[in-house]
């Protein structure tokens, strides 16, 4: 997750055996480990809600419920908690069920004190690393923001570099990219870094302007120019005089208005509707579109001379699918913003939710991600966004992709396709947790990455996990 951990390890133990609770508390408590105990499931669940522990030790058999049932409730409250089930009667079936439902481990009573202490020490080490990662990620986010834009991928660093170079000198710029990639933010960055930063920044959505009023909207009109023109009115170009105008969705302008825009670019002058006089203006023009203007020129729907005039400086913004390494930055950025906006204590997102977002194709780009995380922050009842807080169409996307992959275009899938599809299914069942998926499959994590066609960025597995379906030797 991406919420900030502290340097104290919080442990909750839930067991109806009071002597065992005292034993665990005595063995584990230290300056850096705080142990809280609960003698029944109801009190234990309340304690988990209150303490938000890193580790929860749960007895498998308790009056009124089972450790498996309590495990599911704990993970609903806090998906990031590491839950270890304790039992006096080990069985392979219950161990497999526990792991499948999210347990981190399954230990037999009497508990091996040394093994338990090693697990706690390992968790404490992870907390320390998590604290350092949290600090580094915050620093990375601060250093990865450029005039309200976020990114540290090579594609975005190149965009930032071009904006810095162009901003002091441009008269016209063409911004292209899919809907939702942040073209307006790029336009604002160009304006802020330009010599006219103190001047106005005016936006016109060309696709929203009524055709019959478009010329008046852009260039203004004089009194009596047409029915209803009862007084002079300045247009958007006049309003942007001494600053910058953004013409969003420039491809929607009519050919007649394109001709008038060309005159503005060439001569820096405008003509109001109903007036014979030309007015000088000092403006910088930024045109933005998701359309392929070059194809529109070939089709006669966009003026060639205007296209070449605009595209002298052309900045193309990458889609979110082309810069998925920026996803964690966006997640932190948006969650922090929306948590403040809604006044909610949302501090992060679970790893399995991050994995699901990373696999989604994001056709709506950054704008879609912003809407998804904004909705999740608004509706979540916890302090961490989990898979259940995400829209259904994203949650079911995995199953659709797996089915489509199996169908393919061939009558029979290859062995590699079947193997990968099965691995994806198990990964989905494990909520995106590759370590658990590898354990369920009975293979090493390295092999799982190889099947999925991904590279393991972590250290190579030193010991393949044992197959949980096999009885201990």
Residues of the chain with pLDDT under 70: 1-7, 130, 133-134, 137, 140, 397-418, 440, 442, 454-473
- Coil, strand or helix at 83: strand
pLDDT at 134: 67
Residue where the block lists tokens 């230990």: 107
Q: CA-CA distances (angstroms) from residue 259 to 175, 184, 220?
A: 20, 24, 16
Interhelix angle 67-77/92-100, rounded to 10 degrees, is 10
Structure token digits, residue 321: 């699918």
pLDDT in the model for residue 471: 36
Ranges of each domain in the chain: 9-140, 154-317, 321-395, 398-452
pLDDT of residue 396: 77
Q: What is the pLDDT of residues 415-428, one digit of tens each?
A: 666 677 777 877 87
Q: What is the pLDDT of residues 60-116, one digit of tens each?
A: 888 888 888 999 899 888 887 889 888 877 778 778 888 888 888 888 888 888 888
CATH number of 9-140: 3.40.50.2300
- CATH fold of 398-452, please? Arc Repressor Mutant, subunit A (1.10.10)
The two domains 9-140 and 154-317 share their CATH topology (first three levels equal)? yes
pLDDT digits (tens, 9 = 90+) for 436-467: 777 767 677 777 887 887 655 443 343 344 44
Q: What confidence score (pLDDT) does residue 461 get?
A: 41
Against a cut of 0.75, is the pTM above it?
A: no
Closest among 68, 138, 65 to 100, alpha carbons compared: 68
* pLDDT score for 383: 84
Topology, domain 321-395 = Helicase, Ruva Protein; domain 3 (1.10.8)
C-alpha count within 13 angstroms, C-beta hemisphere, residue 248: 19
Superfamily, domain 154-317: P-loop containing nucleotide triphosphate hydrolases (3.40.50.300)
The count of other CB atoms within 10 Å of the CB of residue 175 is 28
């Amino acid at each position: 997750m991406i919420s900030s951990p502290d340097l104290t390890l919080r442990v909750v133990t839930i067991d109806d055996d009071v002597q065992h609770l005292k034993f665990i508390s005595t063995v584990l408590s230290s300056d850096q480990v705080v142990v809280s105990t609960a003698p029944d499931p109801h009190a234990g669940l309340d304690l988990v809600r209150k303490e938000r522990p890193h580790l929860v030790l749960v007895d498998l058999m308790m009056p009124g419920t089972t450790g498996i049932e309590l495990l599911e409730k704990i993970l609903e409250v806090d998906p990031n908690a590491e839950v270890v089930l304790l039992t006096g009667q080990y069985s392979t079936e219950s161990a497999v069920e526990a792991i499948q439902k999210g347990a981190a481990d399954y230990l037999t009573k009497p508990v091996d004190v040394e093994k338990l202490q090693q697990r706690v020490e390992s968790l404490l080490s992870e907390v320390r690393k998590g604290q350092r990662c949290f600090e580094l990620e915050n620093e990375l986010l601060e250093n990865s923001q450029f005039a309200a834009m976020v990114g540290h991928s090579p594609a975005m660093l190149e965009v930032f570099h071009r904006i810095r170079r162009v901003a002091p000198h441009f008269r016209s710029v063409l911004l292209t990219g899919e809907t939702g990639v942040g073209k307006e933010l790029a336009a604002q960055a160009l304006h802020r870094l330009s010599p006219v930063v103190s001047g106005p920044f005016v936006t016109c959505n060309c696709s929203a302007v009524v055709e019959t009023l478009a010329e008046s909207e852009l260039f203004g009109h004089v009194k009596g120019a047409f029915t209803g023109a009862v007084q002079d009115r300045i247009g958007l170009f006049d309003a942007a005089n001494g600053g910058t105008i953004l013409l969003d969705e420039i491809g929607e302008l009519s050919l007649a208005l394109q001709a008038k825009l060309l005159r503005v670019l060439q001569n820096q002058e405008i003509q109001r509707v109903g007036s014979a006089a030309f007015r000088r203006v000092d403006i910088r023009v930024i045109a933005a579109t998701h359309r392929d203007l070059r194809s529109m020129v070939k089709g006669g729907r966009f003026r060639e001379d205007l296209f070449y005039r605009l595209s002298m400086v052309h900045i193309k913004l990458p889609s979110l699918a082309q810069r998925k390494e920026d996803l964690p930055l966006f997640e932190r950025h948006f969650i922090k913003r929306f948590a403040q906006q809604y006044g909610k204590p949302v501090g992060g997102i679970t790893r399995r939710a991050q994995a699901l977002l990373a696999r989604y194709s994001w056709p709506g780009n950054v704008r879609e991600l912003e809407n998804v995380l904004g909705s999740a922050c608004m509706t979540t009842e916890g302090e961490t966004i989990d898979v259940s807080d995400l829209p259904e169409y994203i949650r079911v996307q995995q199953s659709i992709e797996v089915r489509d992959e199996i169908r393919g275009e061939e009558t029979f899938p290859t062995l590699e396709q079947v193997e990968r599809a099965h691995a994806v299914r198990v990964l989905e069942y494990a909520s995106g947790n590759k370590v658990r998926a590898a354990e369920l499959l009975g293979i090493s994590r390295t092999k799982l990455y190889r099947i999925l066609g991904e590279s393991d960025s972590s250290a190579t597995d030193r010991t393949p996990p044992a197959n949980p379906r096999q009885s201990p030797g």
